[in-house]
Amino acid sequence: MQPRAEMVHWFFGVGILFVALCLLCEAIVGTEVWRMRPWRAYLWPGLAFGLGVLLWPVMAFFTNSAIHMYAHGSWAEVLMLAGGSELALVRGRLTSPWWRLTWPLAFVVTGVAFIVHEQNSWLFARSAFLHHTLGWTFLAMAVFPLLLLWRPSSTALRAGLALMIVAVSVQLFADRDVAPVFGHLSSLAGEQHR
Amino acid sequence: MKALLVTLVVALAFPAVASAHATLRSTTPKFGTELQRGPQTIRLRFDQSVTLLPGAVRVLDGVGRDFAGPARVVGTDVVAKVRPLKLGAYTVRWRAVSADSHVVSGVWTFGVRGPAPAITAAYGAGGPTTLEHVVRWLWFLGLALTIGALGLRLIVLRGLAVPRALDRKIAVAAGGGAFVALQAGIGAFSLRSEDALQLPFGKFLYGDLSPMAETRFGRAFIAMTLAFALVLAFVYLAWLLDRVEPLVPAFAIALVFVGGLSVSGHDAVDPGSSWKTELADWVHIGAASLWIGGLATMAGLVWFGAPELRRAMFTRFSQMATVLIALVLGAGTYLAIVRLPHLHDLWSAGYGRVLLVKLGLVNFALLWGAFHKFVIGPALERADEGFLSRIGRSLAGESIVGVAVLLAAAVLVDSKPPPRPGPTQNTAIVVHR
């Protein structure tokens, strides 16, 4: 019934990578070209909102500790808020650019939740290390949408944000071992532990 | 300020100084199983090796006698021998230290030649607190606001020329209700788990809640969380696109899944419970939510937001409320008869006294509603603007009484009905704080 944690991490890794690639494309070709097909404007904000909705099942099904539940719940909420605000800005339902502050808010909440919900130290295990780096990546990433409020057309800032999100995606992929799902890829890895 | 920032950064950089974690993968016997004979050992399988504390595993009967021998670590397992167990209900409480010194803990139950008690009835579990009543009330309020706002827009205002700004406000109200319902659901689940685990907050954060997730309450929490997240998404779409259509699935989902409270409450487990009591409770909660939430939305948003709709809306809501009140009263009367074996339970049992308070509030709201229907309704056609404004305030007053009814309902749901005459069940003793 409950999907494996590995699958869930990889699923969200794919989703976030897609968001990042859309942002990168938009940064490279410029917003005008990116939005030549109107639906593209809705693509990554809609995806972010959808990922937020899909985080609710993760919150509800993974209850092996209260703090995990709260972390997943907070990510679901801030991703829905930020994605939803961006969609509303694109659609014209919201007009104030200050609504884009929901992105730094989302990144800060996500980063703090990553760091606080990982109870082990940096070098305890790979996943612990990556949870810490993910947390700090999100905290650093919060600077980009903040600066974009003042320099909205800066290619460097937009590309930087996109690349930071790519980094998040890569870390999410690497956060879980392949062995529990596919077995060890090399016999040198020895006996499988779980 | 600088010092605060530095402290925050340092605290985030070294969280492991304060905490660590191991996750329980499986147990033997499993959560909530009924065994034909007592287990010889208790086994807990973790995802990493743990260190044992004194009393790491305790197997407690209904009066708190411990049947577990000393525990030992075997790889990533913790194993404890168990002395022979008689017929009865048992609680396993465990705690261990993760590899980097954080204490993790949990609880589950099993039965020997009898059903396992609910995790909330585990030995040492606490009863509902005032905070739980408040959170349950907020849950009801969120559900009522969502269902009421959606129902008002889709049923009462159907076919009327609703201003776009009002449509958006109704969507915001429904979304706000769904958001509150989600937060209150998480709060209620956490508090119920805390009752079972009996841990201070710092340790509770690392407590294993999965046994609670496998209870009826836990399953209802999961289903309602997923459902109201979807409701929130649909309501958001309606607001974003300025369309009413997404509100239809949102209303349907909210109305169906409000029944999660019925499936997880007394109507599902107490003696005398059946699918009929669950159905009656669902009708009771659904109709009351639509009535009270619809009334609050009408008084708070529509009455002053769209004065041109007042007369038509008042008449239509009055018709709908008549049906809803009939459903609330019919289902409520049936449930009261099932839950209270004797009439004197109404004043002699705690549950009955709360029910009396609720009945008093419901009657007050009904009288107020009848005044609106039979006195205000006919006078509405020739009413001037000042009179209509006063009606708005009166409607707000009636909805505040409705909110008080929900508070009484929240306390009632957390209370236990008096026992029915007949053979008693073999359950673990609940220690109330």
Of B14, B47, B222, the CB nearest to A60: B222
Domain assignment present for residue A187? The answer is: no
| pLDDT beneath 50: ranges in chain B | 8, 10-20, 100, 423-433
* pLDDT score for B20: 39
Partners of B24 in the β-ladder: B46
CB B394 within 8 A of CB B372: yes
* Partner-chain contact A93 B212, CB within 8 Å: no
Pairing of strands B77-82, B41-46: antiparallel
Neighbouring CB atoms inside 10 A of A110's CB total 24
A188 falls within a domain = no
Is A184 within the bounds of a domain?
A: no
Query: Residues of A with CB below 8 A from B21's CB?
Result: 65, 119-120
Q: What is the mean pLDDT of chain A?
A: 89
Q: Would you place residue A191 in the very low, low, confident or very high pLDDT band (cuts 50, 70, 90)?
A: low
- How much is the pLDDT for B426? 42
pLDDT-based confidence at A180, cuts 50/70/90?
A: low
Of A115 and B427, the one with more pLDDT: A115
Pair B101, B19: CB distance under 8 Å: no
Per-residue pLDDT, A39: 94
B19 to chain A: which residues are within 8 Å by CB?
119
Total structural domains within chain A:
1
Domains identified in chain B and CATH numbers: 12-116 (2.60.40.1220), 130-414 (1.20.1630)
Amino acid in the structure at residue B272: G
Query: What residue in B sits closest to A60 (Cα-Cα)?
Result: B222
pLDDT at A192 over 60: no
Cβ–Cβ contact A180 with B under 8 A: no
Q: In what order do the strands lie in the sheet with B68-74?
A: B24-28, B41-46, B77-82, B68-74
Q: Where are the alpha helices (DSSP H) in B380-419?
A: 385-414
Cα separation, B82 vs B71, whole angstroms: 10
Per residue in A72-108, pLDDT (tens digit) is 999 999 999 999 999 999 999 999 999 999 999 999 9
pLDDT at residue B420, rounded to an integer: 64
Read off the pTM. 0.82
Put simply, whether B97 touches A (Cβ < 8 Å) is no
Which range of residues forms the domain containing residue A154?
5-177
Angle between helices B275-297 and B310-339 (to 10 degrees): 150
**Is B73 within 8 Å of B52 (Cβ atoms)?**
yes
Q: What is the pLDDT of residues A5-42, one digit of tens each?
A: 888 888 999 999 999 999 999 999 999 999 999 999 99
CB distance A56–B23 less than 8 Å?
A: no
Query: DSSP assignment of B418-430, as one string?
Result: PPPSSPPP--PPP
If you write DSSP's letter for every residue of B120-151 in order, what string do you get? GGSTT-----HHHHHHHHHHHHHHHHHHHHHH
- On whether residue A120 sits in a domain, the answer given is yes
End-to-end CA distance of chain A: 19
Model confidence at A1, pLDDT cuts 50, 70, 90, reads low
Q: Does the bond joining B378 to the residue before it have cis omega, within 30 degrees of 0? A: no
Report the gap between the CA of A103 and the closest CA in chain B (Å): 18
Q: Which of B174, A96, A30, B287 is nearest to B166 (CA)?
A: B174
Q: Cβ contact (<8 Å) for B232 and A80?
A: yes
SS3 readout for B329-373: HHHHHHHHHHHCCCCCHHHHCHHHHHHHHHHHHHHHHHHHHHHHH
Find chain A residues with C-beta within 8 A of B207's C-beta.
65-66
- B136 CA to centre of own chain: 5
- Please state, in angstroms and rounded to a whole number, the distance separating the CA atoms of residues B280 and B292: 18
CB-CB under 8 Å, A65 with B207: yes
Q: What's residue A12's pLDDT?
A: 93
**Is B44 near chain A, with CB under 8 Å?**
no
d(CA A48, CA A56): 13
Is position A191 within any domain? no
Residues of chain B found within 8 Å of residue A88, distances taken between Cβ atoms? 240
Residue B80 pairs in a beta bridge with B42, B71
Q: What is the pLDDT of residue B102?
A: 60
> Taking a C-beta distance cutoff of 8 angstroms, is the pair B175, B210 a contact?
no
Q: Which of residues 173-202 of B touch A (CB under 8 A)?
A: 186, 190, 193
Nearest chain A Cα to B220, which residue?
A60
**Better pLDDT: A169 or B120:** A169
Q: Write out chain B residues lying below 8 Å of A91, CB-based.
A: 240-241
- Please report how many Cα atoms fall inside a 13 Å half-sphere around the Cα of residue A168, on the Cβ side: 29
B291 has a chain A CB within 8 A of its CB = no
Strand pairing class (B103-112; B34-35): parallel
- pLDDT attached to residue B50: 81
A67: contact with B, CB 8 A cutoff: yes
CB B142 within 8 A of CB B180: yes
Instruction: Summarize pLDDT for B33-85 with one digit per residue, the tens.
Output: 889 888 999 999 887 778 787 788 999 988 888 999 888 888 888 999 999 99
**A75: in domain:** yes
What is the SS3 assignment for A164?
Answer: helix
Name the residue among B181, B282, B285 with its Cα closest to residue B227. B181
Is A169 part of a structural domain of the chain? yes
Q: Is residue A193 in a domain?
A: no
User: Which residue of chain A has the CA closest to B239?
Assistant: A93
8 Å CB contact between B281 and B220: no
Q: How confident is the model at residue B11, as a pLDDT?
A: 46
Neighbours of A31 (CB within 10 A): 13
Inter-residue contact B398 to B372 (CB < 8 Å):
yes
Residue type, B220: A
For B159, other C-beta atoms within 10 Å of its C-beta total 7
Give A38: exposed, middle or buried? Use CB within 10 Å, 0-12, 13-18, 19+.
exposed
Give the residue from B233, B222, B228 showing the smallest Cα distance to B254. Answer: B228
B141 burial via Cβ count (<10 Å: 0-12, 13-18, 19+): buried
Query: Cα distance from B262 to chain A (closest Cα, Å)?
Result: 19
**A·B CB contacts under 8 A:** 100
